[in-house]
Amino acid sequence: MKQPVVIYVISDAIGETAQHTIRAVTAQFEFEEQPDIRRHAFIRDEEILLETLEEAKAAGGIVVQTLVSSKLAIFAKNYCEKEKVPNIDLTTDLTLAIESRTGLRSKEDPGNMRRLDSAYFDRIAAIEFAVKYDDCKDPRGLLEADIVLVGVSRTSKTPLSSYLANQNFKVANVPLVPEIPLPEELFKIPAKRIIGLTTTPEKLGRIRKVRLRSMGLDEMSNYSSDRRILEELEYGYETFKTLGCRVIHVEDKAIEETAVLVQEMIQVN
């Protein structure tokens, strides 16, 4: 059996740029075993860089570098040429082209890239928040959320939470079930941060039947019955009125469209 391709990502920042590029390229190949991608971030001196390059050579690896420092980039390039290690430099050529065209000089400050990447870390934190507080697993998260989505089952609360999290919003959601009391925390946050989601009985019935069918369950169960759906939707409207929150009808909207409406509603206040 062939050994997997080993790719060393070497960066003086976090190395995320190279990793995205590698994944885009490797996705075009049918590997017997997926490539072994080894990321070495925050390489800031030649000694550590040399150790990493020697490790890449010993592993028979390919080096993909995003070194902002020209000194380190040249060091890595020279080493790889001498030791016949495949090397792809994702930053130097573009840097030189910009310098040539504009007359400007690169700051060669990997910290700049890291500051730009702060949005990435914020997004990851928001995604983790959405997962942690999905379906009101921990009602304390409602107090920290930028947006709280409330609605009956299958009104797109979870996918909408995930989409908004990718826009850097901390989102929690609360399922509305007539038999389950609302968490106390829901009444401690401003109504302007709460968005109700609803739909038509017909649409909800179709979605629930498909959901039950996909799980191998009886699609004619109480969960998808007309009586139960009307009961839940009515309870939803009563809850929205009690909370004083705005409401979005999701039946004819894509997740992206609903997300835009949510953001507009939140920003108005």
Residues in the annotated binding site for ADP: 151-158
Q: Which of helix, strand or coil describes residue 41? A: coil
Provide the β-strand partners of residue 173.
Answer: 149
84 φ, ψ to 5°?
A: 55, 45
Q: Which residues are annotated as a binding site?
A: 151-158
CA neighbours closer than 13 Å in the CB half-sphere of residue 19: 12
Residues counted in the chain: 269
The contacts found for 101-107 with CB under 8 angstroms, 24 or more apart, are 106/68, 106/70
CA distance 269 to 254: 24
Tokens of 107: 């700051």
Q: How far is CA 227 from the centre of its chain?
A: 37
Angstrom distance (rounded) from CA 61 to CA 39: 12
